[in-house]
Amino acid sequence: MWIADNWMDYEVLDTSEGEKLERWGDYELVRPDPQVIWNTPKTLPGWTRPNAHYHRSQKGGGEWEFFSLPEQWSICYRNLTFQLKPFSFKHTGLFPEQAANWDWFSEKIRAAGRPVKVLNLFAYTGGATLAAAQAGASVTHVDASKGMVAWAKENARSSGLENAPIRWLVDDCVKFVEREIRRGNHYDAIIMDPPSYGRGPKGEIWKMETSIHPFLRLCTRLLSPKPLFFLLNSYTTGLAPAVLTYLLSTELKPYSGRVDAQEIGLPVRSTGLILPCGASGRWEGL
């Protein structure tokens, strides 16, 4: 398992009864987590006195209950600063477990000894984009949500990267890749964090299990002759790391490289155990 254990401003304090108690900077939040199927005593004071609590509805979705949480606040990871705010379906605008991947590809970019062009697809609020840019890459950031791209730009400003070579695009990822292929553009590295389910601008259905393989195959046509890396993230239940290994190994077979895939996770302070938070597949060129 790849563990995001270099955080100073974030930690999972405890887990129990389908929820996790987290510290985001100066604030403690209680949020649901489907992986937490155990029931252990909730002894930490944050369980009963959090700054906010997201309650999941039995009918689906849920809502926030606020006690003493600002509308927006920030936390830092290394030299990056992220603006956080609670919004729909329990999210805060950051997936801290992804820091394990940020550290991995940042090291590869710095050690490449050449200019590196990175394409970040389904790029959300820009965590991976900013980490790649901080490491010295030029990045194309693509997300279908105008609000998410605006949030990512805000994170870039907070991190002192407003003038970094980042191209910000509000676009459907599949349509964008198809156009880039026609334009003859290429990238040295691709990062993608596709949703389990989604709809395109014209009602197109995205379902991870059926959509990811043809899309991955399409994306390989954008790779430069000597790619540096390809990172595929998955939060889809049932897609084991071995599935990601198989996908990447099959589609990147023409290139000289190696593949590894693992669960990604976060340490839990109260127990010393690791909370699993999805899976990542990493291909790296040789």
Contacts of 147 (CB under 8 A, 6+ apart): none
What's the rounded mean pLDDT across residues 90-105?
Answer: 97
pLDDT tens digits for 199-253?
766 777 888 888 999 999 999 999 999 999 999 999 998 789 999 999 999 999 9
147-151 LR contacts (CB < 8 Å, sep 24+): 148/123, 148/124, 149/123, 151/83, 151/93, 151/125, 151/126
What's the rounded mean pLDDT across residues 139-166?
Answer: 97
Residue 149 C-alpha from the chain's centroid:
14
**Cβ atoms < 10 Å from Cβ of 40:** 12
What's the rounded mean pLDDT across residues 28-48?
Answer: 97
CA atoms in the 13 A half-sphere facing the CB of 241: 17
- Contact predicate 56/65, CB 8 Å: no
Confidence of residue 2 (pLDDT cuts 50, 70, 90): very high
- For β-strands 189-192 and 117-121, DSSP reports them as parallel
Domains assigned to the chain: 2-84 (2.60.40.1180), 98-285 (3.40.50.150)
Confidence of residue 88 (pLDDT cuts 50, 70, 90): confident
Q: What is the pLDDT of residue 201?
A: 65
pLDDT, the chain, mean: 96
Contacts of 236 (CB under 8 A, 6+ apart): 196, 208, 209
Is the predicted pLDDT of residue 17 greater than 80, yes or no? yes
Q: What is the pLDDT of residue 204?
A: 75
- Contact predicate 98/233, CB 8 Å: yes
pLDDT tens digits for 177-195?
999 999 999 999 999 999 8
pLDDT tens digits for 269-286?
999 999 999 999 999 999
Confidence of residue 105 (pLDDT cuts 50, 70, 90): very high
Confidence of residue 198 (pLDDT cuts 50, 70, 90): confident
Give the Cα separation of 73 and 250 in Å (integer).
43
- Contact predicate 219/121, CB 8 Å: yes
Taking the CA atoms of 113, 118, 124 and 126 in sequence, report the sign of the dihedral they define. Answer: positive
User: Per DSSP, what are the bridge partners of residue 120?
Assistant: 141, 191
Give the Cα separation of 286 and 283 in Å (integer).
10
pLDDT tens digits for 152-161?
999 999 999 9
Q: What is the pLDDT of residue 57?
A: 87
Is the predicted pLDDT of residue 16 greater than 80, yes or no? yes
Is the predicted pLDDT of residue 139 greater than 80, yes or no? yes
